[in-house]
Amino acid sequence: MKKSQAQTATTNRGSPRWQNSHYANLIRYVPSGRYFARVRIGGKLIRQSLKTKTLTVAKLKLADLEKKEREKLENSGRLESGKVVCNDLLAEYRKRLDADTSIKPRTKSYRLECIQRILKTWPSLPSTDARKVSKDACSQWAGKFVTQASPQSFNNTVGTLRMIFDIAVEKGVRYTNPCEGIKRARIRPKQLTLPTQSQFLELVAEIRRVPFGPGLASADLVEFLAYGGFRKGEAKFITWGDCDFERLEIVVRGHPEHGTKNGKVRRVPMIPDMVTLLRRLQKIRQGEEVNAPVMRVSECQGAITRSCKALGITRITHHDLRHLFATRCIESGVDIPTVSRWLGHADGGALAMKVYGHLRDQHSAAMASKVSFQSQAKPAPEVVAPVIK
């Protein structure tokens, strides 16, 4: 019997499809030629594909796999034994976050940002015994952090810390979560102070007036955001191929991998001002590919801030231009559910009703003022019916 046949016969007792290699814990699946790891760690037999047919690559991947599994066993053992510092909880939370396919990539990165805020404002936490973190310590940290962060950032960061300590409760390291007593910060609705129609036109003209920097491109972006109600992160991925001039619609897809904020593609109608803007840009930039982005810049806050200051009007942001679009639509008589759909809200108009509901009331009052049973116009002559004899 040849050597390779002997190895096959002694591998898995009667299974000719597996073949031993000259290296411990490394076997080869004969039909596909791929290498597999077959290693016992902590009493558990692990057989996992290394996704390669090259022996040298398989050896490197095997070493990485063994290291990863032993670290996982060590962390799990420490969590189960109760001898754990908060840094172990952070590592476990990061691992679970990375493996959760139901969470959007942007949400994952935001949670990691929350962890960075926790570490920055509570530097001694990672080395602290998870069992010794008291509710008072969490309350003291929260009392300082709430003065440094916005209400929304505070609530999301506290929520992240609460999920981290939930792991300790789940593993039996703690009986209760020390963050349970922290109350959410009250989020006050932003008071919208938007430019009037004439102020907006002056703002765009002022941005274009500056002879240096991306002034023209910045002015184009301001108009693009205001005429379409796009988020800043959506606008930079809109290409000429997304602009349907036959149906007068713009397809908003968002990031090529992450998509829009709610993951849905939407169509926004081109208002006449948007058509004028895009036609002008087409004329200037003839010959561009359909996959070329419509906007040459992705942000212009510096230009907006400078121009607002020069004109003496209230400073606005990129997102305020989205509010401006919604406001102009509602003031023009478009119903809130339709505006909500154009903005890409997934709640059927609930959020838009909270933010822009007062505009509907103002519009309703203005329309009601035009209704009267006492006409001030010159009364029409009385019509006398002829007498039929």
pLDDT above 80 (res 302): yes
> Mean pLDDT, to the nearest integer, of 116-133?
94
pLDDT in tens, 159-185: 999 999 999 988 888 888 999 989 999
Q: How far apart are CA 24 and CA 71, in angstroms?
A: 20
pLDDT in tens, 193-219: 889 899 999 999 999 988 666 668 899
Neighbouring C-alpha atoms within 13 Å toward the C-beta of 50: 27
pLDDT score of 203: 95
Q: What is the pLDDT of residue 12?
A: 47
Reply yes or no on whether the pLDDT at 9 is more than 90: no
pTM above 0.85, yes or no: no
Q: What is the pLDDT of residue 363?
A: 57
CA 35 to CA 54: how far, in whole Å? 8
Which string of DSSP letters, residue by residue, matches 299-317? --HHHHHHHHHHHT-----
pLDDT in tens, 25-81: 999 999 999 999 998 876 778 889 999 999 989 999 999 888 887 766 655 555 555
**3-state DSSP of 91-122:** HHHHHHHHHCCCCCHHHHHHHHHHHHHHHHHC
**How far does CA 222 lie from the centroid of its chain?**
22
**Tokens representing 225?**
């955001």
pLDDT grade for 279, boundaries at 50, 70 and 90: very high
Angle between helices 151-170 and 105-121 (to 10 degrees): 90
**Residue 214: both structure tokens together:** 């991306």
What is the pLDDT at residue 385?
A: 45
Q: How confident is the model at residue 378 (pLDDT cuts 50, 70, 90)?
A: low
The residue behind tokens 């930079």 is 236
Q: What pLDDT does 383 receive? A: 44
Q: Which range, of 8-12, 46-50, 84-88, 130-134, averages the lowest pLDDT? A: 8-12
Cα 252 to Cα 32: distance, rounded to the nearest angstrom: 43
- Work out the widest C-alpha separation in the chain, in whole angstroms: 130
Closest CA to 294 of 329, 250, 257: 250
Give the C-alpha distances (Å, rounded to integers) separating 311 from 97, 204, 219, 283, 321: 47, 11, 15, 30, 17
DSSP state of 238: -
Residue 336: predicted pLDDT: 82
Where do the H-state alpha helices sit in 31-181? 55-81, 86-99, 105-121, 135-145, 151-170
Query: Could you give the CA distance from residue 210 to residue 81 in angstroms, rounded to a whole number?
Result: 66
Listed range (10-24, 93-107, 136-150, 188-202) with the worst mean pLDDT = 10-24
Tell me which residue has tokens 């010159």: 378
The pLDDT value given to residue 79: 56
Is pLDDT at 3 greater than 50 in this prediction?
no
